[in-house]
Structure 1
Amino acid sequence: MLYVILAAAILVFWLVAVDRPVLLIHFKSGQISKQKGHFPATFRHNVMDIAKRTPFDGEVKVYQQRSGTKLVFSKHIPKATQQRIRNVFPHQSFLSKGKRHSH
């Protein structure tokens, strides 16, 4: 019985404490140095164009939430650059599995 409780506690801790973005992008001097997760081609092209015009260092994380997606930027990325990335972000490529849109 103790093993079940311990396993459940570890599982809950892992689900709450571990940082699990659906997309993680690291930038170094305006170049993508590391990426992890689903990175749509058009979004990648637009982000690379933004980074080439205004080089920066930092990271961008995309989280999947019930209400949609959430972009989180490191504090090293300028606010104007953050807004440009938000403007080109393809929300339709990151729809949650339970969310359906009628056309």
Structure 2
Amino acid sequence: MLYVIVIAAVIIFWLVAVDRPVLKVIFKDGTLHKVKGHFPPTFKHNVSEIAEVTPFSGEMKVYQQRTGMKLVFTEQVPKKVQQRIRNVFPHQGFKSSGDKTKKNR
């Protein structure tokens, strides 16, 4: 019985503590250094263009929430660049895993 409680505690800890973004992008000196996750092509093009015009280093993560997507930037990314990336973010390009709308029958 004790092992069931331990396994449940480990699973709950994993669900709460582990960082699980939908998309993670690392920038170094105005270039896309590392990409992990689904990166829509038009968004990737726009972000690369922003990074070329205003070179910066840092990290961007996109999280899926119930209310929609959330963009999180590290402190190294300037506020003006963050806003430009938020302006070109395609909310329709990131699809949720389930259909959350009610259908009339």
Aligned residues: 102
Q: Which residue of structure 1 aligns with residue 95 of structure 2?
A: 95
State the superposition RMSD in angstroms.
Answer: 1.5
Q: Which residue of structure 1 aligns with residue 64 of structure 2?
A: 64
Q: Which residue of structure 2 aligns with residue 14 of structure 1?
A: 14
Q: Which residue of structure 1 aligns with residue 24 of structure 2?
A: 24
Residue ranges of structure 1 left out of the alignment (5+ in a row): none
Contact 1:63–1:69 (CA<8 Å) still a contact in 2? yes
State the distance in 1 between where 2:37 and 2:45 align. Answer: 16
State the distance in 1 between where 2:95 and 2:28 align. Answer: 28
Shift of 1:11: 0.3
Shift of 1:93: 1.4
Structure having the higher helix fraction is 1
Shift of 1:30: 0.5
Partner SS state of residue 24, structure 2: strand
Contact 1:60–1:71 (CA<8 Å) still a contact in 2? yes
Contact 1:68–1:95 (CA<8 Å) still a contact in 2? no
TM-score after normalising by structure 2: 0.92
State the distance in 1 between where 2:52 and 2:64 align. Answer: 27
